[in-house]
């Protein structure tokens, strides 16, 4: 049985990590049976979530997990894509994971009015004193990472201006299609769903969220993926809004 190790569910979305949500959504799109185990990053192989265990193997990093599922379970959602479509998919995935993701992180970890909601979601299960220490250390580390990535060197308005460019590119490319590359979902849809739901369906208010909500096709896309691949029962914590 495939076991997906990821953050515990909060905020009525699949996961507060776009990368955890990406893997779980990919598993559901591929129709692969799996179980979920709540985990914390310090115990993960690379110090980050998600990671996957399967038949004695441990695979970390969402990109490598998807590669593993394709190779060892025949679950290739991209098999029908042309070479040019694969190239576009690769480029858009990198934009989401290596740039837009950091804008989202900036809104959660750096903006003071959002920090408390983020802190409660991630560290709320720890005793108060331990929670405060671990949260402070984690925030300091994330701040360093965002600075190293480059976005942390910009002003707030510049950060969200750059994020809006990414959202506009995604909205323009999606257009009226049901999924980003046609009538059926691909890897790109799994990561786009994971990121966009972490912007529009979380209690984190920012210009990025307001802009994303203004792209009706992106909101409709998230609703489409949710309705097709996540349980319809209102009580399902992975379902979303």
- Whether residue 24 is contained in a domain is answered as yes
Q: Is residue 69 part of a domain?
A: yes
Give yes or no for residue 45 having a pLDDT over 80: yes
Among left, alpha and beta (phi > 0; psi -120 to 50; other), residue 74 is left
Question: Could you report the per-residue pLDDT of 6-18, keeping only the tens digit for each?
Answer: 999 999 899 999 9
pTM, rounded to two decimals: 0.92
Predicted local distance difference test score (pLDDT) of residue 231: 74
Per-residue model confidence (pLDDT) at position 118: 86
* 9 phi/psi in degrees, rounded to 5: -70, 135
- Radius of gyration (C-alpha) of the chain in whole angstroms: 17
* pLDDT given at position 82: 98
pLDDT-above-90 percentage for the chain: 82
If one counts every other C-beta atom within 10 angstroms of the C-beta of residue 29, the result is 21
195 within some domain: yes
Residue 117 belongs to a domain: yes
CATH code of residue 47: 1.20.1050.10
Q: Which pLDDT tens digit goes with each residue over 103-118?
A: 999 999 999 888 888 8
Q: List, for residues 140-151, the tens digit of each pLDDT value.
A: 999 999 999 999
Domain membership flag for residue 175: yes
Q: What is the pLDDT of residue 98?
A: 96
Where residue 234 falls among pLDDT bands split at 50, 70, 90?
very low
pLDDT over 70 (residue 238) = no
Strand partners, 4: 36, 52
Question: Does residue 30 have a pLDDT over 60?
Answer: yes
Q: Are 54 and 24 in contact (CB under 8 A)?
A: no
Is residue 240 over pLDDT 90?
no
In which band, very low, low, confident or very high, does the pLDDT at 178 lie, cut at 50, 70 and 90? very high
Burial 46-55, CB ≥16 within 10 A → b, else e? eeebbbbbbe
Q: What is the pLDDT of residue 5?
A: 97
12 domain residue, yes or no: yes
Range of the domain at 201: 2-229
Q: What is the dihedral of CA 186, 47, 138, 167, to 10 degrees?
A: -10
Quote the pLDDT of residue 121.
Answer: 86
- Decide which of 105 and 232 is more confident: 105
User: 72 Cβ partners below 8 Å, 6+ apart?
Assistant: 54
Q: Provide the CA 174 distance to its chain's centre, in angstroms.
A: 18
pLDDT score recorded for residue 4: 98
Q: How many helices (H) and strands (E) does the chain have?
A: 10, 4
For residue 239, name the pLDDT band (cuts at 50, 70, 90).
Answer: low
Taking residues 173-196, what's their average pLDDT? 98
Structural domain count of the chain: 1
Is 235 inside a domain boundary? no
Higher pLDDT, residue 10 or 174: 174
Question: Do the bridges between strand 34-38 and strand 2-6 make them parallel or antiparallel, or are there none, so unpaired?
Answer: parallel
Q: Please report whether residue 240 resides in a domain.
A: no
Q: At 236, is the pLDDT very low, low, confident or very high (cuts 50, 70, 90)? A: low
Q: What is the pLDDT of residue 235?
A: 46
């Amino acid at each position: 049985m495939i076991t997906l190790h990821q953050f515990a569910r909060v905020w009525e979305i699949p996961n507060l990590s776009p990368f955890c949500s990406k893997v779980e959504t990919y598993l559901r799109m591929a129709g692969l049976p799996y179980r979920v185990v709540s985990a914390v990053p310090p115990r993960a192989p690379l110090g980050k979530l998600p990671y996957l265990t399967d038949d004695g193997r441990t695979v970390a990093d969402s990109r490598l997990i998807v590669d593993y599922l394709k190779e060892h379970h025949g679950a290739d959602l991209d098999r029908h894509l042309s070479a040019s479509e694969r190239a576009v998919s690769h480029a858009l995935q990198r934009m989401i994971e290596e740039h837009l993701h950091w804008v989202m992180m900036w809104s959660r970890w750096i903006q003071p009015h959002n920090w408390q909601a983020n802190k409660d979601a991630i560290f709320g299960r720890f005793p108060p004193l331990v929670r405060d220490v671990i949260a402070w250390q984690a925030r300091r580390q994330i701040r360093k990472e965002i600075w190293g990535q480059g976005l942390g060197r910009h002003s707030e308005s510049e950060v969200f201006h750059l994020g809006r460019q990414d959202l506009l590119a995604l909205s323009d490319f999606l257009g009226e299609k049901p999924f980003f590359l046609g009538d059926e979902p691909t890897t790109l849809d799994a990561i786009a769903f994971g990121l966009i739901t972490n912007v529009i369906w979380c209690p984190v208010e920012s210009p990025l969220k307001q802009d994303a909500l203004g792209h009706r096709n992106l909101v409709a896309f998230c609703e489409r993926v949710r309705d097709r691949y996540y349980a319809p029962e209102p009580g399902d914590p992975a379902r979303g809004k």
